Structure 1
Amino acid sequence: MYLTRFRLNTARTGARRLLSSPQSMHAAVMSSYPELLPTAAPVPATAGPRVLWRVDRNASAEVLLFLVGPSQPDLTHLVEQAGWPAAAASGTAGWQTYRYAPFLEGLDKGGTWNFRLTANPVHSVRNADGAPTKRTAHLNARHQVRWLLERQEPCGFRILTKPEERRHTEHRDEHQVVVRDQCGMDFGKQGAKGRVTIKTVTYDGRLEVTDPDALRRVLTGGLGKAKAYGCGLMTLAPVG
């Protein structure tokens, strides 16, 4: 497995086009892996490692694309469309790729990490008796955090709680996690009728590893729905 980081040049039209279209970004990401054919069927959720991606908008001029995949990607086309081609031609590749396996293998039970996750928190509702259930997005931060808390045990981590003096009990604000960068996407799916509607949120927080193997599966296989549209990728960073 490999983790890759690419900074988008938001002054370029190509970068803005990719950032405005999750379908275009998905196509560009998948084109970064020469061994993956464009006609390849979607990877089943149970098939193990897959290509995951996430866009982090840290500032107007600092927009980063993260990729996790089973092989090293070639992002030359992204550099040409949405990066700094002249800088890349002078010897800077334009992206950084790291072997992910050593990091994953080093995860130990009880270790604590800062984490970031962009996800599509949804639940199933039934509007009338006997009617089929419909997948619906969670719209407020309390329900979005609860969605994540419900998944922490089977996913091999525990979100840490805040010290008593830092909690706001009136808001039930006890966990070390915040929800930010909520984004609604609505677009037509290429080659199919109807529209795709997705609500994405980004979580920043701190966790403790409870089951390293389960957490490794999340880090390489993703968490939740809409993985083709930039959801599901969790990354860890050292505390402090």
Structure 2
Amino acid sequence: MNLWLTRILPDPRSRDARKDIAGAVDMHHRLMALFPDDVPSTEARRELGVLFRVETAPTGSQVLLQSTHQPDLTRLPPGYGTAQTKTLTPLLDALRTDLTVRYRIAANPIRKPGRTTRELYNLSSVVPLTGHAAEEWWLRQAEASGLKIITVQAVPLDAARGTRRQDAQHIKHNRTQFDGTAIVTDPDQLRTRLVNGIGKGKAYGCGLLSIAPDRLGR
């Protein structure tokens, strides 16, 4: 399986780009439009392995799009920005036990309390996690993904928001960005989680795990 990473640098002068950056649902539709329309499944995002993350820096925004099919960048609107695609397959092939890596993920840490707990504490069916609870969530997810965390820095992000076109449902996924270093404990499991993503809200900018070998590590 090939895995592709596309880096898009939206032009702030583009109205389309500004609109997409502001809304997770709009960005989802924009990125899905870069792929064939005839994917034989109602689960097109999953079939195409589409995950993305929008990052904001003082120099501007960038969109990281990961997919198992190469996107057609000519489908971006004129003046949208610059974009470049590379394969991640060599990175997947190079994963080995005890390799030290740097990681980043913007995830949607949540807890789903049972009925009794919900009724006792008047909780909703999905409880967003923050602070230490969010870090503990990530540590569990990382372990299940073939990573042993060495360091972690957790930074709350703005929620991924938008309104779905098909049913006008309002979407909100609270996000926390986790950065740090880790040791690979299970390369095969890590490859699976890199391709499939982690947690909820994958269609709307959550769950893309990015790694790179840590040259200062082992």
TM range (shorter): 0.7 to 0.9
Question: How has the CA–CA distance of structure 1 residues 108 and 50 changed in structure 2, closer, same or farther, with 3 Å as cutoff?
Answer: same
Q: Tell me whether 1:77 sits opposite 2:67 in the alignment.
A: no
| Alignment partner of 1:204 is 2:179 | yes
**Match for residue 101 of structure 1?**
89
2:199 to 224, 230, 234: 224
- How far apart, CA to CA, are the structure 1 residues paired with 2:179 and 2:96? 21
The match for 2:16 is: 14
Alignment of 1:116 onto 2:107: no
Alignment partner of 2:126: what SS? strand
Q: Distance in 1 between matches of 2:79 and 2:201?
A: 25
Superposed CA RMSD in Å reads 2.4
Q: Distance in 2 between matches of 1:195 and 1:186?
A: 7
Q: Number of matched residues?
A: 209
TM-score (norm 1): 0.78
Task: State the structure with more CA Rg.
Answer: 1
Alpha-carbon distance in 1 for matches of 2:190, 2:7 = 21
CA shift, 1:189, in A, is 2.5
TM-score, with length taken from structure 2: 0.86
Q: Does the CA-based 8 Å contact 2:32-2:45 persist in structure 1?
A: no
Question: Structure 1: 5+ residue runs without aligned partners?
Answer: 84-93, 161-175
How far does the alpha carbon of each residue in 1:56-80 deviate from its partner, in whole angstroms, 9 at most, with x for none?
1122x33111111112111223352
Inter-partner Cα distance in structure 1 for 2:79 and 2:26: 12
Q: Are 1:146 and 2:157 counterparts?
A: no
Matches of 1:64 and 1:98, distance apart in 2: 15
1:33 aligned counterpart, secondary structure: coil
Aligned to 2:54: 55
Q: Output the CA distance in 2 between the equivalents of 1:51 and 1:200.
A: 18
Q: CA deviation at 1:35?
A: 5.5
2:208 paired with 1:233? yes
Change (3 A) 1:177 1:186: same
Aligned residues: percent identity? 28
Residues 143/193 of structure 1: CA separation in 2 closer, same or farther (3 Å cut): same
Shift of 1:101: 1.4
* Pair 1:191 & 2:172 matched: no
1:25-58 deviation digits (Å, cap 9, x = unpaired): 1011111112654x9412597x7x7111111112
The answer on whether the counterparts of 1:3 and 1:68 sit within 8 Å (CA) in structure 2 is yes
Distance (whole Å) between structure 2 residues aligned to residue 42 and residue 55 of structure 1 = 22
